[in-house]
A and B are shown apart, each in its own frame.
Chain A
Amino acid sequence: RKEVEQDPGPFNVPEGATVAFNCTYSNSASQSFFWYRQDCRKEPKLLMSVYSSGNEDGRFTAQLNRASQYISLLIRDSKLSDSATYLCVVRGYGQNFVFGPGTRLSVLP
């Protein structure tokens, strides 16, 4: 089993749709959790950190369920500019940041 797994995608959604991404991790001792977005041929950029209480940033909501070892990202009212690959990142012990393979999102006009 991979340490961090994500929905395989791709997701193709119309503008204005709500889309949810799921991520599971295997290391129960994981300490920090993040969502990054990566545009084609660009570097990953932090979208948001994920806190145990859940957190929201505008149209984006992240949730963490430590008992189920599950992280989610919800995007409401999708924009064309949201088209990207979304990476789930989990930090375990020390410098062990583990990246999921990513889920590609295409928002269609």
Chain B
Amino acid sequence: DAGITQSPRHKVTETGTPVTLRCHQTENHRYMYWYRQDPGHGLRLIHYSYGVKDTDKGEVSDGYSVSRSKTEDFLLTLESATSSQTSVYFCAIRDQDSTDTQYFGPGTRLTVL
């Protein structure tokens, strides 16, 4: 158990509304990631963080922003949600002390109507 929680676990929202998803970790890992998973695609990286206030874009970053003001929290924001952002969102940490393995949170199911 890598001590990762995500909130909310489920959310239904309307097109055009802002949405923020939270990832919380308890083990002080430096690297944190946000992925989305859609049918027919593998997990795709949205953004990642390599420290407090240090973030970078991933493969599918358009329409998303992130913030990391504390080591334990990594926030993903959809500034103006669209139906194409309906997906399952997973947060992950990377355990640099254990063969670089990533461990995932339980996921957030987001539906944009």
Contacts and interface: CB of A to CB of B under 8 A. Distances in A.
A101 B15 CA distance: 28
Contacts of B42: 4, 87, 98-102
Contacts of B35: 99
B51 interface: no
Contacts of B44: 99
Contacts of B99: 32, 49
Instruction: Kindly name the residue among A42, A46, A49, A102 whose own CB sees the greatest number of chain B CB atoms within 10 A.
Output: A46
Nearest to B49: A95
**What interface size band does chain B fall in?**
20 to 34
Q: Taking chain B's interface residues, is the majority helix, strand, or loop, or is none over half, making it mixed?
A: strand
Interface residues of A, number: 20
Closest 8 CB pairs of A and B: A99-B42, A43-B104, A99-B43, A101-B42, A49-B99, A95-B48, A32-B100, A44-B104
30 contacts: A4-B42, A32-B99, A32-B100, A34-B101, A34-B102, A42-B106, A42-B107, A43-B90, A43-B104, A43-B106, A43-B107, A44-B43, A44-B90, A45-B104, A46-B103, A87-B43, A89-B102, A91-B100, A95-B31, A95-B33, A95-B45, A95-B50, A95-B56, A96-B45, A97-B33, A97-B45, A99-B35, A99-B44, A101-B40, A101-B42
